[in-house]
Structure 1
């Protein structure tokens, strides 16, 4: 158990050891998912897309292949699995959590499934900037998986490719300070979900076919918001997550703690990224730090804070765009700052790296494209999306997918856009 400290009403976590559950972890071939964007931050969970032809510049009037309206609100990013683009949303006016799927080629609606009716958190328990649907869906080609905060608990739901609910399971109670944010990740036959909270945080490994809990371990009593990432480091699979003033590496097969290193801050939002044996992450609140860790020890760190957006690395350099609009480049080996550039505006979206370029959208609906290089900031393009963009992009088969907002206040409408060739409108 990782000891975190908090002061909220406590809900003791009932731990389940991997051997106790009777559920076996089975090797699963996920390589077919590599040509899509099947979970938060893509196939490797690091925001790096396979090199290929994708748009660098575009005009909303002519280069949106299709657009589709999304009811309600959500900050979860789109994913692309097979022929479908899938997002989650919360429609407060109807008291519904929903999962929506659109045809990858045309943008036509394929299913719209109600995951929960009612049970929304108290608005005082949600950050004013957040939504009730912050998590990104994960898909394995057979099912789509979503974690939601509902009726003071975290539920995980599996939906098949035609929108039918296959199973739904409560994985634990949740005491909210600012809402629920982590996105689930796939590992072999498991789905792994984080739920750090002031009442009693936990990590859970769930059998993807049955929905039964394979293991659950406690993480203490701190409100923190990062999603886990899985990487193979030195020949060993590790589940890595920040928060609670530390970075921790777990066995994704059992939940066993492999190492833990004090760093960053109590609350973090970004997801760690990995290159070779080095792990990079940033945050947070109330402290601030960007850090590189290897073999459980700090290699370098600085006092830069990149709170909501995650980092991205090409293995040679580490790139970031901070919440307040400053782009950074550090040398991965030793953390030397190579350059920084004020872009302006504010950012929540995490960057995407493809073809040696970094794509990142701001909260005013602009997408910056700049070169992933260490000898100075080079802007390739500044493109218009819509009026805002909180979610991070997905990329598949040469196309970019963004979840954006049009308008403001009560008149704000969310939209899914596919940037590629000729414009169509999926709602016509």
Structure 2
């Protein structure tokens, strides 16, 4: 279980990195401060009791309108919910802050105007990054005017600093989310023009370290995971699996073990890094994370966009084409699979022993994370289009969905909880 409160001069936890009085990370045990949650692996904080049944009217605590189109997830810290927004009508990219209890809009800050890129995959958006919050600042990445820029705002929506990470050559789109670690915010911008990975000072935006990345398209976010008693910054895709020291950017190890284009965020069982991708080949592999370069196993399973979950020696995934699968971590052997139906882009979230997963048509499937057999817990319907991964914390579900009324698409942020 991660520990969240900073202790001066000590390693606070493997989730937040070393803390100091100048760089505290003040988030609580019921928060979801960044992409894939407090432990960065899609696992909800312990002892959560979100609803398992809901509809457009049942167990809806509040519903807030969201302008434009975006696929980033909400970040939840304290009494605030943060969301990246892109509005094509006004050509603005912004961060919106909602009251966690009521859903009322607290503030909306435009981060960029103009520079909208209309090319790319039809399933991408110009607000696909999930904000990260350290309790004092909110960090967000946006692609605009052929560049990737990271912006820091205070909790009242004031822009504190902006830093260009890399030039960007559009291919399918951009969706890499920032990651808070120690005194830094970590960012990546892989692309065909040659991207970068960087560590930026959270207080000032100063570039502390940077590394050039291959000239290949890729879409993953930086992920820090504890392996072998050490925090490793893991990058997958570009035909590589790369491990860096998150504080210095120095390479710990790197070797081939991934396909070129990846979207998913990797997880670990403490021994392996699991990499999955979809171009130029369908690809799922377990890479030994000790620097030996050994690929323990590899299969042709297609887990391209939705990220994997790890629990008790097994991987659980929902493939893009709508099939739930359980694999053994040590051998890659498929234990069971079950067709859910539909197409999936959002990543599943693990709450206790239940997986929450939603397809692109807004149909939710809840099933047990157990190797015994596929066990369906519940099915629900909310919205007509869902690409954003849900956020589950504080016994609530925060879901970004789109509804179509009279042929018009409208986004909403729902807060679901037991009434």
Pair 1:63-2:76 in alignment: no
Q: Is the Cα contact below 8 Å between 1:228 and 1:272 reproduced in 2?
A: no
| 67, 75, 85: which one aligns with 1:79 | 75
Q: Secondary structure at the match of 1:407?
A: strand
Corresponding residue for 1:53? 49
| 260, 273, 277: which one aligns with 1:279 | 273
Paired residues in the alignment total 396
Pair 1:311-2:334 in alignment: no
Pair 1:38-2:33 in alignment: yes
Q: How far has the Cα of 1:362 moved from its partner?
A: 0.3
Equivalent-residue separation in structure 2 for 1:394 and 1:222 (angstroms): 30
Corresponding residue for 1:11? none
Pair 1:375-2:375 in alignment: no
Q: Is the Cα contact below 8 Å between 1:202 and 1:218 reproduced in 2?
A: yes
- Pairing of 1:14-413 with structure 2 (within 5 A): 27=20, 28-30=23-25, 32-51=27-46, 52-121=48-117, 123-124=118-119, 126-294=120-288, 295-296=290-291, 297-407=294-404, 411-413=408-410
Q: How far has the Cα of 1:217 moved from its partner?
A: 0.5
Q: How far has the Cα of 1:352 moved from its partner?
A: 0.2
Q: How far has the Cα of 1:30 moved from its partner?
A: 3.3
Aligned-residue Cα RMSD (Å) equals 1.5
Equivalent-residue separation in structure 2 for 1:363 and 1:26 (angstroms): 39
Q: Which runs of 4+ in 1 moved over 2 A?
A: 25-35
Q: Is the Cα contact below 8 Å between 2:27 and 2:134 reproduced in 1?
A: no
Equivalent-residue separation in structure 2 for 1:301 and 1:45 (angstroms): 23
Equivalent-residue separation in structure 1 for 2:108 and 2:189 (angstroms): 26
Q: Is the Cα contact below 8 Å between 1:37 and 1:80 reproduced in 2?
A: yes
Equivalent-residue separation in structure 2 for 1:409 and 1:234 (angstroms): 55
Q: Which consecutive residues of structure 1, in runs of 5 or more, have no partner in the other structure? A: 1-24, 423-428
Q: Is the Cα contact below 8 Å between 1:281 and 1:310 reproduced in 2?
A: no
Corresponding residue for 2:4? none
Q: Structure 1 residues 26, 421: closer, same or farther in 2, change over 3 A?
A: closer
Q: Is the Cα contact below 8 Å between 2:124 and 2:174 reproduced in 1?
A: no
Q: How far has the Cα of 1:409 moved from its partner?
A: 9.6
Q: Is the Cα contact below 8 Å between 1:33 and 1:140 reproduced in 2?
A: no
Equivalent-residue separation in structure 2 for 1:327 and 1:250 (angstroms): 32
Q: Structure 1 residues 29, 210: closer, same or farther in 2, change over 3 A?
A: closer
Q: Which consecutive residues of structure 2, in runs of 5 or more, have no partner in the other structure? A: 1-17
